[in-house]
């Protein structure tokens, strides 16, 4: 299926239509069926928008009692922007995952034992939330894997100073692709904003729209395709894993001379295991592995990250794999991981 993108100015631009598509009927006709797996695992669980709207309190800045932008508001703003930027495409319902539940109780239940609390006497909100919104009618194939355009974000209250007065609030936002074979996210630095700061939802909508409109999907896809053209031998892959394990223990002055790798030791071990065991991205019969598969081993291992570091590590995995491709072909400072 051809990527339905028109790109006159190296940005993602789509032509509008007069009538919106009916998701239920179109999905069955043009979108292949996939086993949808969580885009992040770690200690997260899936929730609905209704749960966030109806069952969760909204944290405030303690010194002036001004409310924060709630998780559901963030999701709704991004969803509305996606619909406006892609008016003639299928937009999937948001998929949300949360972690670090913060519990409380209403004042009238102050003296009750925990076991005696009724549901309406309990209060909760979630410190961290991540979500994605797919545009499954914009889809391409890379090395035999369908990838669908995907937009998403992260909100982590642990990165806000809620004990002070209201100030600019921090969000993470991305537009990229999702590998529908494994549901790993493919996030490049060009489509990722790790420190989007706004004071209200109107500002948020403006900045989200800017990110969506400036994203260069054609360039991102081209770079991902190029990864499948570069190959590591089993010996080179073993060298990469060994050096990646050593990297975190290097003296500080040496570490600053080497490209940054964010995956932790446990995730590198997962990559090593999946080199042999992953059904979709393992080594080939000769023991070699192309860098598209290596990249997907990285993003698969990254699913064990906490929400607040998930997107940063995902973008780093893409940049790191690009560096490996250059090291294979012409040598650069990424060559340390392969030598």
Q: Note the pLDDT of residue 32.
A: 58
Both tokens of 131, joined, read: 């979500």
Tokens 């051809």 belong to which residue?
A: 2
Looking at per-residue pLDDT, the higher value among 78 and 34 belongs to 78
Going from the C-alpha of 318 to that of each of 93, 236, 262, 323, the distances in angstroms are: 26, 19, 11, 9
pLDDT, tens only, 22-47: 333 334 344 556 778 999 999 999 99
> CB of 181 within 8 A of CB of 148?
no
User: Can you give the residue ranges of every domain in the chain?
Assistant: 23-216, 228-337
Mean pLDDT of all residues belonging to the chain: 89
Q: Note the pLDDT of residue 311.
A: 97
* pLDDT > 70: percent of the chain: 90
Q: Note the pLDDT of residue 107.
A: 86
Give pTM, 2 decimals: 0.88
The phi and psi torsions of 302 (rounded to 5 degrees) equal: -65, -15
Q: If you average pLDDT over residues 308-319, what whole number do you get?
A: 97
> CB of 160 within 8 A of CB of 68?
yes
SS3 content of the chain, % helix, strand, coil (to 5): 40, 25, 35
Cβ-based neighbour number of residue 72 at 10 Å: 21
Cβ-based neighbour number of residue 103 at 10 Å: 10
pLDDT, tens only, 177-216: 999 999 999 999 999 999 999 999 999 999 999 999 999 9
Q: Note the pLDDT of residue 159.
A: 93
pLDDT of residue 12 exceeding 90: no
Q: Note the pLDDT of residue 16.
A: 36
């Amino acid at each position: 299926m051809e990527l339905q993108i028109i790109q006159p100015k190296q940005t993602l631009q789509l032509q509008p239509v007069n009538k919106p598509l009916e998701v239920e009927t179109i999905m069955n006709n043009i979108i292949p069926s996939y086993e949808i797996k969580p885009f992040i695992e770690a200690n997260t669980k899936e929730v609905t928008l209704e749960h966030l709207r109806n069952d969760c309190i909204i944290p405030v800045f303690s010194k002036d009692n001004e409310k924060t932008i709630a998780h559901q508001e963030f999701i709704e703003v991004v969803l509305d922007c996606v619909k406006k930027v892609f008016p003639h495409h299928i937009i999937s319902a948001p998929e949300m995952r949360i972690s670090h539940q913060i519990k409380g109780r209403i004042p009238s239940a102050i003296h009750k034992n925990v076991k005696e609390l009724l549901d309406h006497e309990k209060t909760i909100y979630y410190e961290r939330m991540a979500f994605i919104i797919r545009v499954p009618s914009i889809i391409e194939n890379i090395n035999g894997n369908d990838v669908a355009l995907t937009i998403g974000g992260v909100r982590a209250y642990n990165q806000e100073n809620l004990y002070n007065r209201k100030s600019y609030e921090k969000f993470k936002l991305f537009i990229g692709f999702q590998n529908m074979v494994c549901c790993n996210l493919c996030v490049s630095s060009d489509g990722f904003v790790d420190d989007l700061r706004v004071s209200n939802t109107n500002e948020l909508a403006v900045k989200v729209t800017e990110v969506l409109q400036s994203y260069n999907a054609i360039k991102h896809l081209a770079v991902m395709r190029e990864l499948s053209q570069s190959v590591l031998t089993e010996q080179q892959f073993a060298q990469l894993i060994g050096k990646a394990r050593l990297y975190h223990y290097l003296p500080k002055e040496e570490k600053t001379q080497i490209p940054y790798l964010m995956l932790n030791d446990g995730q590198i071990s997962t990559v090593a295991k999946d080199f042999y065991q992953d059904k979709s991205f393992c080594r080939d019969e000769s023991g070699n592995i192309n860098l598209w598969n290596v990249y997907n081993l990285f993003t698969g291992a990254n699913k064990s990250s906490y929400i607040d570091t998930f997107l940063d590590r995902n973008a780093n995995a893409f940049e790191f794999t690009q560096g490996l491709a250059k090291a294979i072909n012409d040598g650069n400072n990424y060559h340390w991981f392969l030598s």
